[in-house]
Structure 1
Amino acid sequence: MQLHDVSKGIQRRKKRKRIGRGVGSGHGKTSSKGHKGHSSRQGFKLSPLFEGGQMPLARRVPKRGFVNGAFKKHYVILNLDDLEAVFTEAGLVDEDALRAKGLVKGYNHDGIKVLGDGALTKALEVHATKFSESAAAKIQAAGGKVVVVAYVNQRGPAAAAARA
């Protein structure tokens, strides 16, 4: 073997299988799909959950209990050290101010919850959906104000009606 033979036949991208191009290609006639049946038909897609006709695992396993996923609330979590780092002087902290500072992104949540991790030295008036007890105590101890507001999603028909 010579050094120039090492890379012979090695290609950067594997060539695709050219099916249905005659008997001599080895992939002619049935195009490697066998004879008859649903898997030989045009547009056939096999579901990754299909188990050959036997009862699928998702239906074999018993289901118990109550799943609260459809009703669960998802909050944007903020800690006091986040507010301390971003807001330089005392003032109003609401959803618009948090979005402007990049602490709240997107609209796929049910409100903002402030937690008490960290220390707060500025007198901030914080408007949020929920507060932990420690966060509310630390905000008030710093001379700030805690205001609980109902969350209104700023996107969609409800938001348009609220803005009008």
Structure 2
Amino acid sequence: MKYNELQVTAHKDRKRVGRGISAGQGKTAGRGTKGQGARTGKKLGATFQGGQRTLVRAVPKARGFKSLRTPAQVVYLDTLNALKGKTIDNFLLYEEGYISTPFHTVKVIVRGVLAEKVTLHIANISKSAEAAVVKAGGVFVKTAVPLRQNTKEAEAADAK
């Protein structure tokens, strides 16, 4: 007989403990003698250490709240004076070095005075900054954040 020709059932019946001495697991049924582990009912937790303070309780906890949302990249209003007459979007701000990546939310907030006419195509702007842009003769257009293309897709698009 070969090993791969053995007729073995996949399911093995559970061991029936506590069914008499001759059954092999009688009397205490593998639970030892007396004590908390021998009793029926609720069992001990995975971190229980015999009444000693558990490691989970002993380790210091990190308090507070950690937000998973990355905050918007901030661009100040007075920095837009250097980009006069241009259509400002995420890619232009990235090329000029005002933001770290063009594929993230950008918000313009007020600092200083906007003296030049600009056209903004970005995701967010504060109300006071929008009023300053309109006052200077510019326009704000709410635009979605550009998505980062897969490098293989970008190479295929460049090849066409």
State TM-score, norm by structure 1. 0.51
**Secondary structure in 1 aligned to 2:78?**
helix
Question: Cα gap change, 1:58/1:77 in structure 2, threshold over 3 Å: closer, same or farther?
Answer: farther
Alignment of 1:43-62 (within 5 A): 55=55, 61=61
**Aligned counterpart, 2:141:** 147
**Gap runs ≥5 in structure 2:** 1-53
Separation in 2, partners of 1:118, 1:60: 45
2:75 is the alignment partner of 1:78: yes
Separation in 1, partners of 2:126, 2:98: 18
C-alpha RMSD over aligned residues: 3.3
Q: Which of the residues 56, 72, 95 maps onto 1:100?
A: 95
Stretches (4+) displaced over 3 A: 56-64
Larger radius of gyration: 2
1:143 offset after TM fit, Å? Answer: 0.2
Indicate if the aligned counterparts of 1:127 and 1:147 stay in contact, CA closer than 8 A: yes
Residues 91-146 of structure 1 deviation map (CA, whole Å, 9 limit, x = unaligned): 21111111121112236x74000001111111100111111000000000000001
Separation in 2, partners of 1:136, 1:75: 17
State TM-score, norm by structure 2. 0.52
Identity of aligned residues (%): 22
Separation in 2, partners of 1:82, 1:132: 15
Question: Cα gap change, 1:122/1:114 in structure 2, threshold over 3 Å: closer, same or farther?
Answer: same
